[in-house]
Copies of this chain bind each other. A is one copy, B any other.
């Protein structure tokens, strides 16, 4: 079994929601890839008794804990004091750390305020983690079952400390078996429909299946344990991909670049040397906006209303006037604020393709669905999944 790891964030600004805790997500991702099982994330404010209670809990519950925040010089920075009190350890002045802090102030041509002295105090038995980017050094120590790592909360100080000092140490200290994540990314199929297709397959018990839905896209995630047979993995992924059919626009593997729909389109459009012109209605500029930086988008226009009966003629004209190899046009019928029938038309060197779908909900939701479905129609064409256009 993987060692269990918890993330602990400290600070009033986190617990009251003034800042979104991006450190926790970043650290959890790092830990999962290393082979830890992340079991819990917790955040508490600048209250000594809350900090002490949480430290006691974690010391009995986890094999490793990564804590950020509360190492600053001010009176509301309480992490070190909380560790010392919780685990009954005296605080020891680290003269080397003190000299480093004084040096940092000297480099900035300032005198060190007295309050910074406390940043050179560490609980007895702790190993200091130098901070190359600020005054708040971190530290780590074993208490009960748990190896605790304390780091500053400022991301630009925390991340290099984690990467250069904490991660190599954890890799040595724990016997880790990194897992592998494969993500099948789909558009045009819902989460529950995917779940039903999965039920017809037998997913091995040791492969963890998860889903994530996000404005039009659904991700099916497979977490494979360490040393899982590569051929069995390829086989399973292939089976699932076949079940999901042409709704799959990309398959991501651990550590590979994140293949969102736009990056997939970028590659296909560039490879096949196509250019695009578009007329948007429901997606109201969002299709264009998502393509920012794409040289193949040579012209785009927003028109508030477009009758769908004109779509093919309009696409022919747009292709001609723009000089683009592909033209997308979009229209709708029905109620703009209610149930809407969206029509996408795609004119290509192989002919004209059309798609129709019912969309509902708030205008922004419709806008997203319209942009994604138009771009996905283009993706299907480029991946040669649209077949003969004569019936379209």
In the complex, identify which listed stretch (A143-151, A234-242, A280-288) lies at the interface while the others stay far away: A280-288
- Shortest Cβ-Cβ A-B pairs, 4 listed: A285-B288, A17-B28, A285-B289, A17-B29
Residue A43 is within 8 A (CB to CB) of chain B in the complex: yes
Q: Are A293 and B363 in contact (CB under 8 A)?
A: yes
Residue A244 is within 8 A (CB to CB) of chain B in the complex: no
Closest Cβ neighbor of A50 among chain B residues: B39
Partner of A303, one of B211, B287, B299, B339: B299
Residues of B with C-beta under 8 A to A211: 72, 74, 76
Assembled-state Cα–Cα distance A221/B212 (Å): 34
- A265 nearest CB across to chain B (Å): 15
Assembled-state Cα–Cα distance A192/B12 (Å): 18
Residue A390 is within 8 A (CB to CB) of chain B in the complex: no
The oligomer's copy count stands at: 2
Q: Are B43 and A50 in contact (CB under 8 A)?
A: no
Q: Are B107 and A360 in contact (CB under 8 A)?
A: yes
Residue A26 is within 8 A (CB to CB) of chain B in the complex: yes
In the complex, identify which listed stretch (A108-116, A161-169, A312-320, A345-353) lies at the interface while the others stay far away: A108-116
Q: Render A286-309 as a binary contact track against B, CB cut-off 8 A, 1 for contact.
A: 111111110101111111100000
Residue A361 is within 8 A (CB to CB) of chain B in the complex: yes
Assembled-state Cα–Cα distance A20/B214 (Å): 12
Residue A175 is within 8 A (CB to CB) of chain B in the complex: no
- The A interface is mostly helix, strand or loop, or mixed, namely mixed
Q: Are A16 and B39 in contact (CB under 8 A)?
A: no
- A132 nearest CB across to chain B (Å): 10
Q: Are B16 and A38 in contact (CB under 8 A)?
A: yes
Q: Render A359-370 as a binary contact track against B, CB cut-off 8 A, 1 for contact.
A: 011111101000
Interface CB pairs A-B, < 8 A, 5: A17-B29, A40-B50, A113-B193, A133-B362, A284-B289
Residues of B with C-beta under 8 A to A285: 280, 285-292, 300, 302
Residue A216 is within 8 A (CB to CB) of chain B in the complex: no
Assembled-state Cα–Cα distance A367/B291 (Å): 11
- A341 nearest CB across to chain B (Å): 10
Residues of B with C-beta under 8 A to A9: 41
Residue A210 is within 8 A (CB to CB) of chain B in the complex: yes
Residues of B with C-beta under 8 A to A154: 213
